[in-house]
Chain A
């Protein structure tokens, strides 16, 4: 062996050891890196866990109490608006009313999926909610998130309340008033789980009269809203309907209070009964008051025939009754200088007119001044001013021949009455009359049918006689006194051509009827004479004590020379009043009339008359 060649052997051995040391160091380094990686992985896991926790967002959406056994347990709805499922873990309930406060803690096991809600949480925990007690409730999830809400007691937490009366002003005699109560749960973090109910009371000084008894009556089944659960920040409406009947000037104050609510936490609304001319809100401007007052201060009532016949030349018995009754329902007299009646119909032909211009009416009322037709379809009274005293009426009535209608029948022609007074000009419309065209050769097309009130029980004979008998109003009837009314239905053409029917017929005839409407407070003492109307005159009384008298013809009204008219006479007892009062009685007609030429042509009966009755209070 040549030992010279073994000189580097120790270096080799040393290198082997160094390699072993290096391998050990390298392993340690690699292991250390792996350890570092495990730390990084733990951080990532923790971050993901935190993100999931942030993605869970629960809130207490609703709190109620159980209404079946076991009673008054919590019934909570929890919503999760996040994306992760929330596992409920605990509920903490603190009795905030107790002194010192008391805390209750229960375990929950419910699960609320993301973007959903779960009801009935808390119904199975042995905790009963006491009345008149405030609680705070907090629910905690396993992820550590929580949601809280307060449970309020109505006896310690006042709520915002507003109430309205609709309408707030009524005419004497009253009517229904709707009371709308708004209760606002203005606590955004407090629930009232038992539902909220409210009571209504009223107060007011009222002196009853025979007409107005001072009654305030709650309408059955009108209450809405009681027991409503009002969510935090929400509002609920409650409704009552009361019927109020009281004299002029009465004010009732309605007060709403929450059941078991805070003392003094109330809402009020006032209802006032006033005559229309005095009715206005406290905040109304002066202009509005004047406008309302003028529109309501002159009353106009109308008398008109229907059908009005057709002109056939001068006729002493063919003048129908047209009239305007002007009533003054105020304490201030006014003068009337002009009254007009105008009729408007679709033009059938240029020569057609319902009132002929230049007509010659008879002046029935007021007896002074002049009635004339200043133009086609305009009937006018003018003359020296006539004073209408306070709370009284004045009649303006004319007897007038029919006009000339040859082209068309006019089934409904609008009648407008206008009075020119020292308080201004007032009109009333909405009534109508009818006209039937000439049947040929100047022959009238229909009857002249007219209903009117008269001062005595007389058959119609001719226009000149009727001129002194027809009336439109009566003044100075004593309170609770008796008054006899005569209402006459007349056919003014000579008998033999036209008639008012009393029986049904093949051409659609139906018996004529007089329909009389009486305002509330009147009594029908007796039906004194029926004059061709059936013996069983029907009197219907409505809930407000207003009445309807219906009398049906039992014989045809054929005209002068035959049976020219029929008069219904009855005695009324007027209401008891404490101040002067004007009542309007209306008489309308139903049924048919016909001609007698060949196959009868049948037309509706449409004449009507209104009558003003002034009642004075006891001296």
Chain B
């Protein structure tokens, strides 16, 4: 009798522990899968993201008197397979603009920077950063 009872107790304990283990494993695997999926999607999107600095136009004049002064118009062309969002622009390693400018596939978008000092004839290093973390850096001469 005792053998029967002990056997049943052992089987029951094994079942409980096993069920707990399986449940925990499934949960853990699911979380891990989500993390991996996110990381993969991020990397794939970043790989697919492609753009060029089509034009940088350094100019003094603006339509609005409030913002007159030297500034730049940075035109970015999306040459990749998915839309991009420009988040930051640096000139000579100094951030001069931040925001969110979306550019669809095959299109170009122009971002007007705030007033900043650039010298005529001096080479300016323009660096565009996207939301996904891609960067494009080119030198332009006003």
Contact = CB atoms under 8 A, between A and B. Distances in A.
Contacts of A101: 59
Contacts of A4: 3
A24 B25 CA distance: 7
A42 B61 CA distance: 43
Nearest to A87: B106
Interface stretch (A30-38, A218-226, A272-280, A498-506): A30-38
Contacts of A3: 3-4, 7
Interface string B73-88: 0010101110000000
A7 B7 contact: yes
A509 to B, nearest CB: 92
Interface in B77-106: 77, 79-81, 106
Contacts of A524: none
Which of A9, A10, A42, A103 has the most C-beta atoms of chain B within 10 angstroms of its own C-beta?
A10
Contacts of B80: 49
A610 to B, nearest CB: 77
B123 interface: no
A105 B59 CA distance: 14
A572 to B, nearest CB: 78
Interface in B2-55: 3-4, 7, 10-11, 13-15, 17-19, 21-22, 25-26, 29, 32-33, 36-37, 40, 43-44, 47-48, 50-52, 54-55
A28 interface: yes
Interface string B100-137: 00000010100000000000000000000000000000
Contacts of B47: 39, 42-43, 45-46
A144 interface: yes
A39 B33 contact: no
A89 interface: yes
Contacts of B106: 142
A105 B74 CA distance: 13
Interface in A347-391: none
Interface string A21-65: 100110110011001101100110110011001000000000000
A140 B54 contact: yes
Given A28-B29, A38-B44, A138 B77 contact: no
Given A17-B18, A25-B29, A35-B37, A103 B57 contact: yes
B14 A10 contact: yes
A9 B18 contact: no
Interface in A100-143: 100-101, 103, 105, 138, 140, 142-143
B7 A42 contact: no
A185 B125 CA distance: 33
A13 interface: yes
Contacts of A294: none
A90 B108 contact: yes
B79 A10 contact: no
Contacts, number: 112
Contact of B77 (A14, A28, A89): A89
B14 A32 contact: no
Interface residues of B, number: 41
B25 A39 contact: no
Contacts of A100: 59-61
A16 interface: yes
Contact of B50 (A10, A46, A89): A46
Contacts of B43: 39, 42
Given A14-B14, A17-B18, A100-B61, A28 B54 contact: no
A433 B16 CA distance: 144
B79 A45 contact: no
A20 interface: yes
Nearest to B11: A10
Given A4-B3, A17-B18, A42-B48, A143 B40 contact: no
B36 A13 contact: no
Given A10-B10, A13-B14, A25-B29, A53 B44 contact: no
B5 to A, nearest CB: 10
Nearest to A4: B3
A140 B55 contact: yes
A140 B26 CA distance: 53
Given A140-B55, A144-B77, A10 B7 contact: yes
A441 to B, nearest CB: 106
B55 A105 contact: yes
A36 B55 contact: no
B59 A103 contact: yes
A20 B52 contact: no
Contacts of A45: 47-48, 81
A89 B108 contact: yes
Given A39-B40, A100-B61, A144-B52, A6 B7 contact: yes
B11 to A, nearest CB: 5
A395 B59 CA distance: 90
Contacts of B75: 90, 105
A92 interface: yes
Contacts of A53: 79
Contacts of A14: 14, 17-18
A28 B32 contact: yes
25 contacts: A3-B3, A4-B3, A6-B4, A9-B10, A9-B11, A17-B14, A17-B15, A17-B19, A18-B18, A20-B22, A25-B29, A31-B33, A35-B37, A38-B44, A39-B47, A42-B44, A45-B81, A49-B79, A49-B80, A50-B50, A53-B79, A90-B55, A90-B77, A142-B106, A144-B52
- The 8 A-B residue pairs with the shortest CB-CB distance in the complex, in nearest-first order: A17-B18, A144-B52, A10-B10, A35-B40, A10-B14, A42-B47, A42-B44, A21-B25
Interface of B: 3-4, 7, 10-11, 13-15, 17-19, 21-22, 25-26, 29, 32-33, 36-37, 40, 43-44, 47-48, 50-52, 54-55, 57, 59-61, 75, 77, 79-81, 106, 108
Given A20-B25, A38-B44, A142-B79, 12 more contacts: A9-B7, A10-B7, A21-B21, A24-B26, A25-B25, A46-B50, A49-B50, A50-B50, A89-B54, A100-B59, A100-B61, A143-B79
